[in-house]
Amino acid sequence: MLKTRLDVSDDQFENCYVPTNNQMGFMLTKIDSFIQRFVDYAAQNQENWHLDVGAAFGIATLAALEKGAKMIANDIDPSHLTVISEIGAGRFDNTLRLFPGDIRQDLEYPALSFGSVLFSRVLHFFTGAEIIHCLKGIKERLRPGGKVFVVNETPYFGTAKDFIPIYLQRKKEGRQWPSFLTLEEVKTYFALSKRPFVTNSVLFFDEELMRHVAQEAELHLEEMGTLNRRGFFPEDALYDGRESLWAILSKPKNAGA
Protein backbone atom coordinates (compact mmCIF):
# COMPACT_ATOMS: atom_id res chain seq x y z
CA MET A 1 0.00 0.00 0.00
CA LEU A 2 1.05 3.58 -0.56
CA LYS A 3 1.04 4.28 3.15
CA THR A 4 3.73 1.67 3.60
CA ARG A 5 5.79 3.13 0.76
CA LEU A 6 5.52 6.60 2.29
CA ASP A 7 6.15 5.59 5.89
CA VAL A 8 9.44 7.48 5.97
CA SER A 9 9.64 8.61 9.58
CA ASP A 10 13.08 6.98 9.82
CA ASP A 11 13.94 7.76 6.23
CA GLN A 12 17.47 8.75 5.26
CA PHE A 13 16.09 11.42 2.91
CA GLU A 14 14.62 13.58 5.67
CA ASN A 15 11.03 12.48 5.00
CA CYS A 16 11.11 14.43 1.73
CA TYR A 17 11.07 11.69 -0.90
CA VAL A 18 11.23 7.95 -1.44
CA PRO A 19 13.28 6.02 -4.00
CA THR A 20 11.45 4.47 -6.92
CA ASN A 21 11.65 0.71 -7.37
CA ASN A 22 13.62 0.96 -10.61
CA GLN A 23 16.42 3.34 -9.57
CA MET A 24 14.94 6.18 -11.62
CA GLY A 25 15.24 8.80 -8.93
CA PHE A 26 12.69 9.62 -6.24
CA MET A 27 9.04 10.51 -5.69
CA LEU A 28 8.15 13.45 -3.46
CA THR A 29 6.18 12.60 -0.33
CA LYS A 30 3.96 15.69 -0.61
CA ILE A 31 2.38 17.78 -3.33
CA ASP A 32 4.40 20.84 -4.31
CA SER A 33 2.87 24.06 -5.61
CA PHE A 34 3.44 23.15 -9.25
CA ILE A 35 1.95 19.66 -9.07
CA GLN A 36 -1.00 21.27 -7.29
CA ARG A 37 -1.58 23.41 -10.38
CA PHE A 38 -1.82 20.26 -12.50
CA VAL A 39 -4.14 18.61 -9.98
CA ASP A 40 -6.43 21.65 -9.98
CA TYR A 41 -6.42 21.87 -13.77
CA ALA A 42 -7.29 18.19 -14.16
CA ALA A 43 -10.07 18.51 -11.59
CA GLN A 44 -11.52 21.52 -13.40
CA ASN A 45 -11.56 19.64 -16.71
CA GLN A 46 -13.35 16.45 -15.73
CA GLU A 47 -14.71 15.86 -19.23
CA ASN A 48 -11.21 14.86 -20.38
CA TRP A 49 -8.70 12.21 -19.36
CA HIS A 50 -5.38 13.45 -17.97
CA LEU A 51 -2.05 11.61 -18.18
CA ASP A 52 0.52 11.40 -15.38
CA VAL A 53 3.80 10.25 -16.98
CA GLY A 54 6.20 8.44 -14.67
CA ALA A 55 3.57 8.42 -11.95
CA ALA A 56 5.72 6.37 -9.54
CA PHE A 57 3.57 5.52 -6.50
CA GLY A 58 0.87 7.95 -7.59
CA ILE A 59 1.13 11.05 -5.48
CA ALA A 60 -0.15 13.33 -8.28
CA THR A 61 -2.56 10.80 -9.79
CA LEU A 62 -4.24 10.04 -6.48
CA ALA A 63 -4.52 13.71 -5.52
CA ALA A 64 -6.23 14.47 -8.84
CA LEU A 65 -8.55 11.47 -8.51
CA GLU A 66 -9.57 12.66 -5.05
CA LYS A 67 -10.72 15.93 -6.64
CA GLY A 68 -12.77 14.18 -9.31
CA ALA A 69 -10.36 14.08 -12.27
CA LYS A 70 -10.17 11.19 -14.73
CA MET A 71 -6.57 9.99 -14.63
CA ILE A 72 -4.29 7.74 -16.65
CA ALA A 73 -1.26 6.69 -14.60
CA ASN A 74 1.80 5.73 -16.63
CA ASP A 75 5.02 4.20 -15.44
CA ILE A 76 7.81 2.12 -16.91
CA ASP A 77 7.79 -0.06 -13.76
CA PRO A 78 4.53 -2.03 -13.35
CA SER A 79 5.14 -2.43 -9.62
CA HIS A 80 4.50 1.29 -9.18
CA LEU A 81 1.16 1.00 -10.94
CA THR A 82 0.23 -1.96 -8.75
CA VAL A 83 0.50 0.31 -5.73
CA ILE A 84 -1.76 2.91 -7.38
CA SER A 85 -4.24 0.21 -8.40
CA GLU A 86 -4.43 -1.15 -4.86
CA ILE A 87 -5.10 2.29 -3.44
CA GLY A 88 -7.72 3.08 -6.07
CA ALA A 89 -9.56 -0.26 -6.03
CA GLY A 90 -13.25 0.25 -5.34
CA ARG A 91 -12.86 4.03 -5.15
CA PHE A 92 -11.75 5.14 -8.59
CA ASP A 93 -12.75 2.20 -10.79
CA ASN A 94 -14.37 4.48 -13.38
CA THR A 95 -11.85 7.32 -13.28
CA LEU A 96 -8.46 5.53 -13.12
CA ARG A 97 -6.68 3.80 -15.97
CA LEU A 98 -3.23 2.24 -15.82
CA PHE A 99 -0.76 2.62 -18.68
CA PRO A 100 2.41 0.54 -18.18
CA GLY A 101 5.25 1.22 -20.58
CA ASP A 102 7.92 3.59 -21.77
CA ILE A 103 6.33 6.81 -23.00
CA ARG A 104 9.17 7.18 -25.52
CA GLN A 105 8.08 4.04 -27.37
CA ASP A 106 4.69 2.84 -26.19
CA LEU A 107 2.41 5.83 -26.73
CA GLU A 108 -0.38 3.99 -28.54
CA TYR A 109 -3.24 6.31 -27.62
CA PRO A 110 -5.10 7.92 -30.54
CA ALA A 111 -5.01 11.60 -31.39
CA LEU A 112 -6.86 14.01 -29.10
CA SER A 113 -6.88 11.60 -26.14
CA PHE A 114 -5.69 13.88 -23.32
CA GLY A 115 -6.83 17.10 -21.73
CA SER A 116 -3.45 17.57 -20.08
CA VAL A 117 -0.22 15.73 -19.34
CA LEU A 118 2.10 15.90 -16.34
CA PHE A 119 5.83 15.22 -16.56
CA SER A 120 6.95 15.62 -12.96
CA ARG A 121 10.70 15.08 -12.67
CA VAL A 122 10.69 12.62 -15.58
CA LEU A 123 12.02 14.25 -18.73
CA HIS A 124 15.46 14.85 -17.22
CA PHE A 125 16.03 11.09 -17.58
CA PHE A 126 15.62 11.36 -21.39
CA THR A 127 18.12 12.52 -23.99
CA GLY A 128 17.42 15.76 -25.82
CA ALA A 129 16.25 13.92 -28.93
CA GLU A 130 13.98 11.69 -26.84
CA ILE A 131 12.40 14.69 -25.14
CA ILE A 132 11.55 16.35 -28.45
CA HIS A 133 10.23 13.10 -29.94
CA CYS A 134 8.12 12.46 -26.85
CA LEU A 135 6.64 15.96 -26.71
CA LYS A 136 5.76 15.80 -30.41
CA GLY A 137 3.85 12.59 -29.75
CA ILE A 138 2.11 14.14 -26.78
CA LYS A 139 1.11 17.18 -28.83
CA GLU A 140 -0.67 14.95 -31.35
CA ARG A 141 -2.64 13.33 -28.53
CA LEU A 142 -3.56 16.53 -26.72
CA ARG A 143 -6.93 18.12 -27.32
CA PRO A 144 -6.72 21.65 -28.77
CA GLY A 145 -5.91 24.00 -25.93
CA GLY A 146 -4.64 21.13 -23.79
CA LYS A 147 -1.68 21.70 -21.51
CA VAL A 148 1.60 19.97 -20.68
CA PHE A 149 2.92 20.51 -17.15
CA VAL A 150 6.68 19.95 -16.95
CA VAL A 151 9.02 20.18 -13.97
CA ASN A 152 12.60 18.94 -13.87
CA GLU A 153 15.80 19.42 -11.96
CA THR A 154 18.22 22.11 -13.10
CA PRO A 155 22.04 22.16 -13.00
CA TYR A 156 21.57 24.04 -9.69
CA PHE A 157 20.52 20.85 -7.95
CA GLY A 158 22.46 20.33 -4.74
CA THR A 159 22.84 16.60 -5.28
CA ALA A 160 25.06 17.35 -8.29
CA LYS A 161 26.48 20.76 -7.36
CA ASP A 162 29.98 19.64 -8.35
CA PHE A 163 28.72 19.53 -11.93
CA ILE A 164 27.80 23.24 -12.00
CA PRO A 165 31.23 24.53 -13.17
CA ILE A 166 31.34 21.80 -15.84
CA TYR A 167 27.89 22.84 -17.06
CA LEU A 168 28.83 26.52 -17.16
CA GLN A 169 32.00 25.80 -19.12
CA ARG A 170 30.14 23.64 -21.63
CA LYS A 171 27.52 26.36 -22.03
CA LYS A 172 30.26 28.91 -22.64
CA GLU A 173 31.68 26.62 -25.33
CA GLY A 174 28.27 26.50 -27.03
CA ARG A 175 27.64 22.80 -26.69
CA GLN A 176 24.19 21.63 -27.78
CA TRP A 177 23.29 19.85 -24.54
CA PRO A 178 25.65 21.36 -21.95
CA SER A 179 23.66 20.02 -19.00
CA PHE A 180 23.73 16.37 -20.10
CA LEU A 181 25.48 13.86 -17.84
CA THR A 182 26.30 10.36 -19.03
CA LEU A 183 25.79 7.55 -16.54
CA GLU A 184 29.49 7.63 -15.78
CA GLU A 185 29.26 11.38 -15.09
CA VAL A 186 26.26 10.78 -12.83
CA LYS A 187 28.43 8.38 -10.85
CA THR A 188 31.14 11.03 -10.69
CA TYR A 189 29.17 14.18 -9.90
CA PHE A 190 26.15 12.98 -7.91
CA ALA A 191 26.43 12.90 -4.13
CA LEU A 192 27.41 9.47 -2.84
CA SER A 193 24.14 9.10 -0.93
CA LYS A 194 22.08 9.43 -4.15
CA ARG A 195 24.16 7.49 -6.68
CA PRO A 196 22.61 4.08 -5.93
CA PHE A 197 19.15 5.48 -6.74
CA VAL A 198 19.94 6.93 -10.17
CA THR A 199 21.14 4.41 -12.76
CA ASN A 200 20.49 6.48 -15.84
CA SER A 201 21.95 9.43 -17.71
CA VAL A 202 20.52 12.84 -16.75
CA LEU A 203 19.78 15.98 -18.75
CA PHE A 204 19.26 18.88 -16.38
CA PHE A 205 16.86 21.58 -17.61
CA ASP A 206 17.65 25.25 -17.99
CA GLU A 207 15.48 27.94 -19.58
CA GLU A 208 17.21 27.71 -22.94
CA LEU A 209 16.60 23.97 -23.14
CA MET A 210 12.95 24.37 -22.17
CA ARG A 211 12.40 27.00 -24.85
CA HIS A 212 14.16 24.83 -27.42
CA VAL A 213 12.18 21.65 -26.82
CA ALA A 214 8.88 23.56 -26.71
CA GLN A 215 9.67 25.20 -30.04
CA GLU A 216 10.74 21.91 -31.64
CA ALA A 217 7.56 20.21 -30.43
CA GLU A 218 5.44 23.15 -31.67
CA LEU A 219 3.97 23.73 -28.23
CA HIS A 220 3.34 27.21 -26.87
CA LEU A 221 5.41 28.05 -23.80
CA GLU A 222 2.86 29.81 -21.59
CA GLU A 223 4.78 30.14 -18.33
CA MET A 224 8.14 29.15 -16.86
CA GLY A 225 9.89 29.58 -13.54
CA THR A 226 12.07 28.01 -10.88
CA LEU A 227 11.10 26.20 -7.69
CA ASN A 228 12.83 26.59 -4.38
CA ARG A 229 12.85 23.05 -3.02
CA ARG A 230 13.35 23.81 0.67
CA GLY A 231 10.93 21.60 2.57
CA PHE A 232 10.54 19.27 -0.41
CA PHE A 233 14.13 18.05 -0.92
CA PRO A 234 16.65 16.87 1.68
CA GLU A 235 19.16 19.49 2.78
CA ASP A 236 21.97 18.14 0.62
CA ALA A 237 19.78 18.40 -2.49
CA LEU A 238 19.23 22.14 -2.03
CA TYR A 239 21.36 24.85 -3.61
CA ASP A 240 20.16 28.43 -4.10
CA GLY A 241 16.43 28.22 -4.81
CA ARG A 242 16.84 27.26 -8.46
CA GLU A 243 16.80 23.50 -7.91
CA SER A 244 13.90 22.82 -10.28
CA LEU A 245 12.53 24.45 -13.43
CA TRP A 246 8.82 24.29 -14.25
CA ALA A 247 6.89 25.20 -17.36
CA ILE A 248 3.35 25.04 -18.70
CA LEU A 249 3.13 24.33 -22.42
CA SER A 250 -0.05 24.28 -24.48
CA LYS A 251 -1.35 23.08 -27.81
CA PRO A 252 -2.89 25.90 -29.88
CA LYS A 253 -6.69 25.90 -29.68
CA ASN A 254 -7.00 25.98 -33.45
CA ALA A 255 -4.68 23.00 -33.94
CA GLY A 256 -5.89 19.61 -35.07
CA ALA A 257 -4.18 16.31 -34.37
pLDDT per residue over 63-108, tens digit each? 999 999 999 999 999 999 999 999 999 999 999 999 999 999 989 8
Q: Which residue has the higher pLDDT, 111 or 14?
A: 111
163 contacts 169 by C-beta, under 8 angstroms: no
In this structure, how many other beta carbons lie within 10 angstroms of the beta carbon of residue 257?
12
pTM across the whole model:
0.93
Which of these ranges, 167-176, 187-196, 229-238, has the smallest mean pLDDT? 187-196
- Provide the 10 A C-beta neighbour count for residue 20: 21
What is residue 17's predicted lDDT score, i.e. its pLDDT?
Answer: 84
Is 61 within the bounds of a domain?
yes
pLDDT beyond 80 at 5: no
- Asked whether the predicted pLDDT for residue 10 surpasses 70, the reply is no
Residue 1 has pLDDT above 70, yes or no: no
Q: Is 193 contained in some domain?
A: no
- For residue 18, is it within any domain? yes
Residue 190 falls inside a structural domain: no
> Residue 114 in contact with residue 139, Cβ under 8 Å?
no
Residue range of the domain that includes 211: 2-155+206-250
Domain holding 211: CATH number? 3.40.50.150
The predicted structure's pLDDT at residue 9: 47
184 DSSP β-pair partners: none
DSSP β-bridge partners for residue 227: 244
Q: For residue 187, is pLDDT > 80?
A: yes
167 assigned to some structural domain = no
- Residue 236 domain-assigned? yes
- The tens digit of pLDDT for each residue in 144-172 reads 999 999 999 999 999 999 999 999 999 99
Tell me the C-alpha distance between 138 and 159, whole Å.
30
Query: Residue 2 has what pLDDT?
Result: 40
The residue-averaged pLDDT of 195-216 equals 94
The rounded distance, in Å, linking the Cα atoms of 20 and 161 is 22
Q: Residues for the chain: how many in total?
A: 257
Q: Mean pLDDT, the chain, as a whole number?
A: 92
Q: Would you place residue 21 in the very low, low, confident or very high pLDDT band (cuts 50, 70, 90)?
A: confident
Number of domains, the chain? 1
Q: Rounded to the nearest 10 degrees, how much is the dihedral formed by the CA atoms of 24, 2, 247, 43? A: 150
pLDDT at residue 194, rounded to an integer: 85
More reliable by pLDDT, 197 or 145: 145
Give yes or no for residue 143 having a pLDDT over 50.
Answer: yes
What pLDDT was estimated at residue 4?
A: 36
Residue 141: predicted pLDDT? 96
Q: List all residues 6 or more positions away from 73 whose beta carbon is below 8 Å from its beta carbon.
A: 52, 55, 58, 61, 81, 84, 96, 97, 98, 99
Establish if 184 belongs to a structural domain: no
DSSP 48: S
d(CA 87, CA 79): 13
**Residue 220's pLDDT is what?**
98
* pLDDT at residue 24 in the model: 81
What average pLDDT does this structure show over 236-251? 97
Residue 195 lies in a domain: no
